[in-house]
Amino acid sequence: MCKELFVLLLMAIMTICEGATYVNLEGPNPVRECKNYGKYKPTKAPVYSPTTENLSFEKCGEWNGKGDMPWTVIIAAKPNSSAWSSYAVTQTVTEFLILISFFGSVTLIMLSLKFPRDLTDNKETYGFLVSEQTVLAGFNPHHYEIENYRIYAGPCYSGSKDEELCKFGRGLLQKRALSRSRIVFRKNGYEMWKIEKVTITQHLKPICLWNLNSYDRESRFDSFVFTQNNTRSLKRTELLSHQQCYLNNSISSSVCDKLDSLMCSAFEYSGFFLITKVDNRYYLRATRWGNFLLSEYRVENRILWFDILQDIDRIVANSTGLFLMPPTPKLETEIDFGRGESYAGCGEVAQDKTRGRERRDTAVGFIHHGTNAPIEQNPWHASLSINFPTTDSLYDLCGGTLVSKRVIVTAAHCLYDPNTGDKIEAEWLEITLGMYDATDSEEIGRQTVQAASIVIYDGYDYFRNDFQHDLALIIMKKDSIQITERVRPACLWNSEYDFENIAGKNGKVVGFGFTEQFTKSSILQKAYLRIAPHEECFYTNKKFYSRNLRPTQNFCAGFPHNGTNACNGDSGGGLLIANGPSARKKRFYLRGVISFGPSQKKEKNNAEIRVCNPSKYALFLDITSYMQWIVDNSPDIAPI
């Protein structure tokens, strides 16, 4: 009976001390029968940076083990913002009653316990700095206005009435909180705080977010628990296997269902963060999911941890200054057009044909370092113009690529009124093929045709402004186009879809878009652009490409070092890659559609306009993810 009393008393004390979720492990599920017993969820490691260490923040996680951890901060709250000048932090004594049965009689016991102030005075919460403006912390139960919070670096227990004088042995740091958001799992979770930007120094720097695959078992690394009652040191702990953790007991359904994503360690008094040390750098590995008691008398105890890799997308999305490279989804099933390619005679160009006019022309290059483009060498290019019935016409608004006798592939955003956002009608659209000199209305071989219909990809939304699924088809009337040396379709992509096979190669683009003076070219221009690996593109501008680069849906291309790239007016045109046994027998295959890219402001005609930024990579829709849709909506294209 004494032993049972001790167990009940211990359970009550630990439940209150922890301030964490208590997990009732008993349940109808023998742990060995859980489908993921002995298995761990295969989570792909996040890409924060393509550098060797793949750090979430530059120089994160560096600490010599002496003094305060440089990423530890305190989030302190006052009932009102004016109270900051007079509020003094005091410790709390908590009293509670336990009624127990002891040798058949009823005994009343009163316990008076003194807890760590961070658990009882909930106006303060510990957190970890993970970027210059983001703190990850445990739940703060108070919901004051955001101006009532302050962020301090390191422990601040001076007890002084004037906390403005509180120093941490390395200088005062007090920052305002700007916003907070909660990330909840089960009844527990954590909070992401946006704070005023801090200056990274030797004594104040972020901890790293974990960056290895969960298959890399942590047993070969040192693991620690951050205990809130001792912020100057970490408590070494041992990560336990499923067998070691659950001791083959029956467990609840909630634990059984998440067995593959919950980590387990020995119990620590007030631990909230699990930290892993790799090569003298510290990483935030997991956050507390709950704690529980084990064995016949439920005295042995464990902490269950929630693997942050399972939640890294939400962590980064709610952070400022942290960026992830978007993951690469499964590739689409390849469509086989056979030896005849997607359209008879597609992708072929005239050989050794050079127009005399091009040799005499001195028009400015395509953006930078481009050249004039003989139309016989680019016979698939289409120039799109819109004749609005009530406003001035917009000529050479976008480009497109002829892929059959009736179908042009272009960008969806080209087919909306840029002033109103209304989708244009097919009868307003004018398509010009075989055009080399836009100023020569009598150019021999030019064909101007009307669209019969327009098909916008179902997932495209013009008003999202993110250019996702930026693809459309223009369908011409039957027999409205004549195939000639100057007007000929390009082939749809007919090789492996894996992006790695084209990364680093050059693709050809043509168009009448802005040149380096940000004026329209009257002569068709061409440039060969290098297709950049996804990681390389992402690293050049993490903030932009973490939102807009979507592997398998789009890719980056260009020469940022010299500004050779597509620009305003080139949208919708194609990026084509040559393939064939020899230069004379090569065909050109459409792989990308010019979509969008980072922009900049320039002054033109005493007005400020937004134009392309050719010193950054442009984004091209990757047609391999949309090939089935293109085939399904093209009246004269079919696979074998």
The residues near 585 (Cβ < 8 Å, ≥ 6 apart) are none
**Is the pLDDT assigned to residue 537 strictly greater than 60?**
yes
Calpha distance 299→181 (Å, rounded): 36
Q: pLDDT tens-digit profile of 315-333?
A: 999 999 999 999 889 999 9
DSSP line for 125-160: EEEEEEETTEEEE--------GGGEEEEES------
- pLDDT at residue 29, rounded to an integer: 78
- pLDDT at residue 366, rounded to an integer: 38
- Contact in structure between 290 and 23 (CB atoms under 8 Å): yes
Rounded mean pLDDT of 284-305?
76
Rounded mean pLDDT of 213-223?
74
For residue 157, what pLDDT band results from cuts at 50, 70 and 90?
Answer: very low
Rounded mean pLDDT of 91-100?
32
- pLDDT at residue 533, rounded to an integer: 96
Least confident of 2-11, 257-266, 286-295: 2-11
Residues carrying CATH 2.40.10.10, the chain: 363-632
- pLDDT at residue 228, rounded to an integer: 67
For residue 95, what pLDDT band results from cuts at 50, 70 and 90?
Answer: very low
Number of H helices, E strands in the chain: 9, 33
Query: Which of the given ranges, 39-48, 214-223, 386-395, 554-563, has the highest pLDDT on average?
Result: 554-563
- pLDDT at residue 229, rounded to an integer: 66
**Is the pLDDT assigned to residue 151 strictly greater than 90?**
no
Least confident of 12-21, 398-407, 422-431: 12-21
Q: What percent of the chain has pLDDT over 70?
A: 77
**Is the pLDDT assigned to residue 220 strictly greater than 90?**
no
Q: pLDDT tens-digit profile of 473-493?
A: 999 999 999 999 999 999 999
- pLDDT at residue 253, rounded to an integer: 84
- pLDDT at residue 267, rounded to an integer: 78
Tokens (6 digits) for 310? 């399972």
Tokens (6 digits) for 9? 């008393």
- pLDDT at residue 103, rounded to an integer: 33
Residue 99: C-alpha distances to residues 17, 111, 243 (Å): 19, 11, 36
- pLDDT at residue 96, rounded to an integer: 32
**Is the pLDDT assigned to residue 508 strictly greater than 90?**
yes
Q: Which residue has the tokens 């008398």?
A: 297
**Is the pLDDT assigned to residue 133 strictly greater than 80?**
yes
**Is the pLDDT assigned to residue 176 strictly greater than 50?**
yes
**Is the pLDDT assigned to residue 446 strictly greater than 70?**
yes
Q: Higher confidence at residue 118 or residue 57? A: 57
Q: Higher confidence at residue 143 or residue 628? A: 628
**Is the pLDDT assigned to residue 93 strictly greater than 60?**
no
**Is the pLDDT assigned to residue 597 strictly greater than 90?**
yes
Query: Which of the given ranges, 59-73, 266-280, 496-510, has the highest pLDDT on average?
Result: 496-510
For residue 357, what pLDDT band results from cuts at 50, 70 and 90?
Answer: very low
Calpha distance 626→497 (Å, rounded): 11
**Is the pLDDT assigned to residue 367 strictly greater than 70?**
no
Rg for the chain (alpha carbons), in Å?
32
Of 154, 176, 138, 195, nearest in space to 71 by CA: 154
Rounded mean pLDDT of 76-103?
42
Burial class of residue 18 (count of CB atoms within 10 Å of its CB; 0-12, 13-18, 19+)? buried
**Is the pLDDT assigned to residue 368 strictly greater than 50?**
no
Tokens (6 digits) for 557? 């291309």
Of 345, 388, 65, nearest in space to 232 by CA: 65
For residue 379, what pLDDT band results from cuts at 50, 70 and 90?
Answer: very high
Least confident of 3-7, 65-69, 523-527, 616-620: 3-7
Length of the chain: 640
Average pLDDT of the chain, as a whole number: 80
Instruction: Give the helix ranges, DSSP H, for 284-397.
Output: 312-317, 356-360
Measured between its terminal Cα atoms, the distance across the chain in Å is: 81
Q: What percent of the chain has pLDDT over 90?
A: 43
For residue 166, what pLDDT band results from cuts at 50, 70 and 90?
Answer: very low
Strands 222-227 and 105-114: unpaired
Strands 281-294 and 208-209: parallel
- pLDDT at residue 8, rounded to an integer: 41
Least confident of 183-197, 281-295, 360-374: 360-374
For residue 371, what pLDDT band results from cuts at 50, 70 and 90?
Answer: confident
- pLDDT at residue 294, rounded to an integer: 65
- Find out if CATH 2.40.10.10 is the number for domain 363-632: yes
**Is the pLDDT assigned to residue 436 strictly greater than 90?**
yes
**Is the pLDDT assigned to residue 614 strictly greater than 70?**
yes
- pLDDT at residue 358, rounded to an integer: 35
